[in-house]
Amino acid sequence: MPAVADDALSEDAREALDEFEAATEAIERALEPFLDADRKALTKELRPLERAEVHCEAARAIVALFGMYLKTLGVDPEKHATAKEMKRVEAYRKKIEETRARLGDGARGASAGGRKASVDVETAAKAIKDGVGSPGDLLKASLAAAGGDKGDGGEDGKEDGGKKRAASANKGKGSKKAKKK
């Protein structure tokens, strides 16, 4: 509410004040869900591109509100240092738009919870059978767990209890005392 009586204001000033008050209330209503929400929880659920948009729009709102405040003080916001900040925020907004145009909705690996890669056991088994690579204990165990071919290494999919692997790991490695002598 104005501190000056309505009679002391001109019609133009009253109109401008009413517009300013309506704009401020609209901004408050628009920002209310954002301000009431837990920011960490909100941004945790968003993809990185969406997080960047939220931060950029919040910065734009803050600069716009400060510009409105400067106008109430009679200061031209275009001549204030915030004009430089608004240009910087707009430059970031353009970068975000360019990135969105290039990536679409950002679904190409830009998930909020990190990548969720999965192993296709059947495809890996086919590649091994075709001669690409050699089967390891982990793959055989995965095949056994998936109900696929247990391989040629025994009932549980392991070759001699992992003794070959342990032997090959120690191959060429003697005790430190033996090497010193």
Tokens of residue 111, six digits: 């998930």
- Residue 12 structural domain: 6-103
97 and 53 within one domain: yes
* Per-residue pLDDT tens digits for 71-98: 888 899 899 988 898 899 999 999 999 9
Answer whether residue 144 is part of any domain: yes
Average confidence score pLDDT of the chain: 72
Is 110 or 98 the better-scoring residue by pLDDT? Answer: 98
Among residues 103, 130, 146, the one where a domain terminates is: 103
123 and 93 within one domain: no
Picking from 43-52, 135-144, 168-177, which range would have the lowest pLDDT averaged per residue?
Answer: 168-177
132 and 97 within one domain: no
147 and 74 within one domain: no
Residue by residue, DSSP assigns the chain as --SS-GGGS-HHHHHHHHHHHHHHHHHHHHHHHHHHS-HHHHHHTS-HHHHHHHHHHHHHHHHHHHHHHHHHTT--GGGSTHHHHHHHHHHHHHHHHHHHHHHTTSTTT--TT-------HHHHHHHHHTTSS---HHHHHHHHHHTS--TTS-TTS-SGGGHHHHHHHHTT---HHHHH-
Residue 17 and residue 23: Cα distance in Å, rounded?
10
82 and 13 within one domain: yes
Predicted confidence at residue 102, as pLDDT, reads 86
Using the structure block, give the residue that is written with the tokens 């009932």: 155
Q: How many structural domains is the chain composed of? A: 2
* Per-residue pLDDT tens digits for 149-169: 544 544 444 444 444 544 444
Predicted confidence at residue 40, as pLDDT, reads 79
122 and 35 within one domain: no
Interval 110-117 mean pLDDT: 46
Is 38 or 86 the better-scoring residue by pLDDT? Answer: 86
Picking from 33-37, 89-93, 129-133, 139-143, which range would have the lowest pLDDT averaged per residue?
Answer: 129-133
68 and 22 within one domain: yes
